[in-house]
Amino acid sequence: MAFIYETEHFILESHEKPEIDRLEGAHVKISPKKVVRDRTELTPNQAIELMRFTIIAGEAMKSAMNEIGVTIGRINYQDNGNWKPQLHIHLYCRAENAIMQKYGEPITPGHKEAYMPLDKQDILRIQKHLNRLFQLERFSNSAWKLG
């Protein structure tokens, strides 16, 4: 995994062996810093932080990949933790012009040797957009408080 970004309780990483090629949208994962089995073990504030982070990460992926001509039409957010009981959220970013993992069709699971992970420049672009989005009022901590 290649580190992209972190919040207080979660880490965003790029898969080194993605299930979607970087030029077909890309594949990233958000994991808690401390192991939890599933969402039921999150505090209310951690649950809000996770939802906020998934939304911001998705927006950052769309913006960053669009800069290199990859138009993401859909992001599928998938909670996992079956094999090793640890919560993590996959973001399967789906490019509208994908060839290997065609847009609108289910992905064929499993890494394919031809699928390339995000490169260093992709990660820098994503980080830039994450920093920008976290500064927006609609994503501020005050806008995402309980009660």
| Alpha helices (H) along 33-143 | 44-66, 120-135
Segment 5-34 shows an average pLDDT of 95
pLDDT digits (tens, 9 = 90+) for 75-95: 999 998 777 789 999 999 999
pLDDT at residue 147, as a whole number: 62
- Provide CB contacts within 8 A for 88, sequence distance 6+: 29, 30, 31, 32, 79, 80, 81
Q: Answer whether residue 109 is part of any domain.
A: no
Domain of residue 31 covers 2-104+114-144
| Alpha helices (H) along the chain | 44-66, 120-135
Residue 128's pLDDT band (cuts 50, 70, 90): very high
Q: Answer whether residue 90 is part of any domain.
A: yes
* Number of compact structural domains in the chain: 1
Q: Answer whether residue 74 is part of any domain.
A: yes
CA-atom Rg of the chain in angstroms: 15
Residue 21 and residue 95: Cα distance in Å, rounded?
Answer: 10
Strands 88-95 and 72-80, sheet pairing = antiparallel
| 131 pLDDT more than 70 | yes
CATH code of 27's domain: 3.30.428.10
Residue 76, beta-bridge partner list: 92
